[in-house]
Amino acid sequence: MQFDFSDGLFKLNGKPFYMNSGEFHYFRVPQAEWKKRMKLFKEMGGNTISTYIPWLIHEPAEGQFDFDSPQLNLRHFLDCAAEMDLAVIVRPGPYQYSELIYDGLPPWLCMKYPEILARDRHGRVMHYSAVSYLHEKFIEKVSAYFDRVCPIIAGYSAQKNGPVIMVQPDNELGGVHLWRGDFDCNRETMGFGCDSGRFAVYLRQRFGSVEQLNRRYGCSHTTFGEFGPPPDTTCVSPSALLQQRDYADFYWHCAAEYLKLLIELMENRGVVGPFCHNSANPAMNCCFYEVKKQLGNRMLLGSDHYYTLDQRWPQNNPTPQYAIRCFISLEQLRLMDNPPCVLEFPYGSLSDWPPITAEDVEACAMMHLGFGMRGHNGYIFTGGMNVPGTGSTTDMYDYNAPVSADGETRPTYYALQRFAGYLNAHPEIIESQADSDFRILMPWNLAYADNKWSGVVCPGTVGAAQAWNSFVTGLVTSAFAAGLMPEMVNPESDEWVNCIDKPLVLWNNGCVDQLQQQKLVHFMENGGRLLCLPVIPKYDENFEKCTVLADYLEGATAGKAVSPSDRMVRLNIAGIKNVYCNNEFYPAENIPSGAEIIGQNEFSGETVGWYKNGFMFLGLNWCHGKNEHAAMIAKLLERLGMQRRIVSNDSWIITVLRKHAAGTTLFAMNLSSSTRTVTLQIRPDGTGEFYPPEIIEIPAMTVVTKNFITRGDRLC
């Protein structure tokens, strides 16, 4: 069995396949049940299983290992999987979480070696099981555990005709600190106070001189070693904010070092990759950008996409708002050269209330497929009793899984079977590509800032976290509400500069690095058409003045934010009257001569949009609410030459067209609690006439598909 991933696809023996995985904890499921449940899993359509290998269970006392007791016999488990012709992903930690006590670390480790515990910026222990990843003592103990577990894994690798196709170091990296309130500031690990310490070395490499750093932070230190943890997040001076962001950067730099070190430790013990890691949620994907670039195809980055784990989550079901976040997440993973993959896909939940229903699970899976998901690992396929004393929630780890802790199939099982059935019947979907209407440059910096711990706001710019929020809830949501399909492009790539067949959107907060600004000028010079919003860049990513793009636009700028609570606002944009301004607008300041005015505040006459020579500015930052928002974005992009693929009469139905060898497939997603009847006009590739309108009735929480085979202008 040869497994790899490239070109955005998982491949088995060189052939693209959909990685249909389910989490299966051998240490919870009775051994006598393993093969029976694996059979059930295969009958559900699965081809891969995934499991944690929990340190606390295999090394219950320091130096005492157990890989042989019936339910802890990892080798036997892997033998069973091989026998059942199932691929396996193993996740040997050190961390597991998985509702195990001490997040899966051995209690003796944290109790006996308290020096390894992570500390917050004030020096306080953050949690009894939150350790400092790179602490020498911790790594020493991890190594001893890896000495035992890695040889087992190595013996079962796919390269040796074993079932293990991927190995995941650690779990949801960063969560153990950030969910407990802070970045790790363990003095020993970070080496504060020492010029050769980890933090000092990082600062020296990044900033070169102490003087420059003193200027940046407003300090007067004499050595790099004197720089310590960042100030409180309540300090909001520009220098304090920069210190906070730099420390966040450093933290993720350390996380990358830790991930690479774990991989090295495994490889030194015979484990061959590829490796994988799961970002804890879509918002954290961007934090792994650097390490993923460094590791390339040695590591798959996936994301965990839960929609509810208890009643406090923002939704009970896979709602349209959740779908849009999933779309962005999968696009981020794709831009990072991964086959878009959800490494923890919700098959169950920690809670019984809200419940996980068959309809929800099936709609969720089909929605992800429509957005280009190439594989997933359902969390969890089946569970069982926790090893006594190791569960942190309840003894029975059932998780409302498709196969219960007792081995009974639940309605979600059959829902997932239908999903696999769809994939079997439509293998063309696996290699399909979105038939997009326009492109958007992924604003990585804004996504990064959305992680609360680094919400740097530079004077004269839009708050980065706020700008990310309106990117998601405004621009991208309005596009889907308009029946449009956006495609993300990576600003760091060079490809888009010459792709001028579709309009491109630059959503920015006023800070865009110089190289990207230069590329944007080239794009325009190439004949590209650009929509720039809600402001025009003035600074680079370090908040230094940078007006490469603005200079090309005859010095065009956006003015200060105006909120509807400041003064009366009524915006008319692109022929759409009274576009609801529910965040704020940015009146144009310097407008190039001869520019066409395309949007104004009716009360004040202020310009909020203009167009000249393929460039369009829209000074609006909104949260999608009204059909007018959708109509506006469609009109603006059409003014820039967009040929839309779909005209829909229902903004609540998300539509996607996917192109493939057999034609084009429509996904129409009703992620609500009511049946909806939608009328769609469709023209794949945005060429030719629209097909005759399709009237489709879609039951509540259902994704329907429809295949089009285009022969001339005939629709089949």
Residues that bind a copy of itself (CB under 8 A): 101, 127-128, 180, 310-312, 314-317, 319-321, 350-355, 357-360, 391-396, 473, 477, 481, 564-565, 567-568, 577-578, 580, 582, 623-628, 630, 651-652, 672-676, 700-701
Our CB check for a copy of itself shows the closer of 239 and 316 to be: 316
Q: Is 24 exposed, middle or buried (0-12, 13-18, 19+ CB in 10 A)?
A: buried
**Helix (H) or strand (E) run with residue 255 in it:** helix 238-268
Q: How far is the CB of 150 from a copy of itself (least distance, A)?
A: 30
Q: How far is the CB of 419 from a copy of itself (least distance, A)?
A: 16
Q: How far is the CB of 179 from a copy of itself (least distance, A)?
A: 10
Q: How far is the CB of 715 from a copy of itself (least distance, A)?
A: 29
Our CB check for a copy of itself shows the closer of 53 and 356 to be: 356
Contacts of 556 (CB under 8 A, 6+ apart): 536, 550, 588, 589, 590, 591, 592, 617
Q: Residue 459 carries which DSSP code?
A: T
Our CB check for a copy of itself shows the closer of 314 and 527 to be: 314
DSSP letter string over 662-703?
TEEEEEEEE-SSS-EEEEEEE-GGG-SPPPSPEEEEE-TTEE
Q: How far is the CB of 320 from a copy of itself (least distance, A)?
A: 7
The amino acid at 414: Y
Quick one: which of 686, 703, 644, 660 has its CA closest to 16? 660
Contact between 88 and 51 under an 8 Å Cβ cutoff? The reply is: yes
Instruction: Please give the radius of gyration of the chain, using alpha carbons only, rounded to the nearest integer.
Output: 26
Our CB check for a copy of itself shows the closer of 136 and 352 to be: 352
Rounded CA-CA distance 7/2 in Å is 16
Q: What's the N-to-C CA distance of the chain in angstroms?
A: 38
**Other CB atoms closer than 10 Å to residue 54's CB: what's the count?**
26
Q: How far is the CB of 468 from a copy of itself (least distance, A)?
A: 15
Quick one: which of 51, 716, 102, 10 has its CA closest to 381? 51
Our CB check for a copy of itself shows the closer of 498 and 673 to be: 673
Our CB check for a copy of itself shows the closer of 440 and 631 to be: 631
Q: How far is the CB of 226 from a copy of itself (least distance, A)?
A: 30
Our CB check for a copy of itself shows the closer of 91 and 624 to be: 624
Rounded CA-CA distance 471/325 in Å is 11
DSSP-assigned beta bridge partners for residue 678: 696
Quick one: which of 341, 347, 467, 350 has its CA closest to 417? 347
Our CB check for a copy of itself shows the closer of 333 and 485 to be: 485
Tokens encoding 538: 């003035």
Contacts of 91 (CB under 8 A, 6+ apart): 50, 51, 52, 53, 167, 168, 171
Contact between 91 and 50 under an 8 Å Cβ cutoff? The reply is: yes
Q: How far is the CB of 342 from a copy of itself (least distance, A)?
A: 20
- E-state strands within 392-529: 396-397, 433-434, 438-441, 486-489, 504-508
Our CB check for a copy of itself shows the closer of 82 and 623 to be: 623
Our CB check for a copy of itself shows the closer of 357 and 643 to be: 357
Tokens encoding 545: 């003045």
Our CB check for a copy of itself shows the closer of 104 and 491 to be: 104
Q: How far is the CB of 193 from a copy of itself (least distance, A)?
A: 29
Q: How far is the CB of 629 from a copy of itself (least distance, A)?
A: 8
Our CB check for a copy of itself shows the closer of 283 and 546 to be: 283
The amino acid at 128: Y
Q: If phi over 0 gives left and psi between -120 and 50 gives alpha, with beta otherwise, what is residue 508?
A: beta
Q: How far is the CB of 316 from a copy of itself (least distance, A)?
A: 6
Contact between 440 and 505 under an 8 Å Cβ cutoff? The reply is: yes
Contacts of 146 (CB under 8 A, 6+ apart): 92, 265, 266, 269
Our CB check for a copy of itself shows the closer of 67 and 128 to be: 128
Q: How far is the CB of 472 from a copy of itself (least distance, A)?
A: 10
Q: How many Cα atoms occupy the beta-carbon half-sphere of 547 within 13 Å?
A: 10
Q: How far is the CB of 68 from a copy of itself (least distance, A)?
A: 27
Q: Residue 473 carries which DSSP code?
A: I
**Other CB atoms closer than 10 Å to residue 561's CB: what's the count?**
18
